[in-house]
Chain A
Amino acid sequence: ETGVTQTPRHLVMGMTNKKSLKCEQHLGHNAMYWYKQSAKKPLELMFVYSLEERVENNSVPSRFSPECPNSSHLFLHLHTLQPEDSALYLCASSQDIGGLAGGRGDTQYFGPGTRLTVL
């Protein structure tokens, strides 16, 4: 499979469950991102990884725990979530995070998303 893939595509979980979202990119990129898209809010950046190192945590609650074991895989571990955490979670990747002016290395490629429902 090419591009950015995400599994599962849909997930329903209780507030006491522990689950993980998986993202995989087949583009040879060095940067990966997690975004959250809620029904009533714009797409929000959650985490940024560059060369497997986390460079940004956008004030995300600790019940969301990212993991980047290598440059092709990104996980989002979930535990004790709240119903308001129900949203579409998007993963993206780019060649690098900054990009030189005029360069295209920072173009982000998105996955299809995981629709999460917390009961």
Chain B
Amino acid sequence: AQRVTQPEKLLSVFKGAPVELKCNYSYSGSPELFWYVQYSRQRLQLLLRHISRESIKGFTADLNKGETSFHLKKPFAQEEDSAMYYCAPRSDYKLSFGAGTTVTVRA
């Protein structure tokens, strides 16, 4: 069965500290991986996708096919990074979402 796991429901870090959000997936084939983010009072929106290998708002995510993981990282968290983050593998045209991790960055 296809499954995506975000083990941390809540993550609290201080401003300037590194932050890492874990995502593990169990999929047949080679899904494409995404991270979506929802800031307070805003819509769900794409943060980044693994295939583009880009850094968005200082975030990067490395796809580890051996460990089937796609962890999201930022070396220095900012208060504006406080949000809900969803890992989302896509197989064919079907996007599946993890349960999400709420990140709070404290001053």
Contacts and interface: CB of A to CB of B under 8 A. Distances in A.
Given A101-B51, A102-B52, A106-B90, A45 B95 contact: yes
Interface string B60-79: 00000000000000000000
Contacts of A110: 43-45
A48 interface: yes
Interface in B40-58: 43-46, 49, 51-52
A107 to B, nearest CB: 5
Given A45-B96, A48-B94, A107 B46 contact: yes
A104 to B, nearest CB: 8
A42 B44 contact: no
A43 B32 CA distance: 18
A108 interface: yes
B98 A42 contact: yes
Contact of A55 (B44, B86, B93, B95): B93
A43 B97 contact: yes
Contact of B99 (A33, A42, A109, A112): A42
11 contacts: A42-B99, A42-B100, A44-B97, A48-B94, A50-B93, A58-B94, A90-B44, A98-B93, A101-B51, A104-B52, A107-B46
Interface of A: 4, 31, 33, 42-45, 48, 50, 55-56, 58, 90, 97-98, 101-102, 104, 106-113
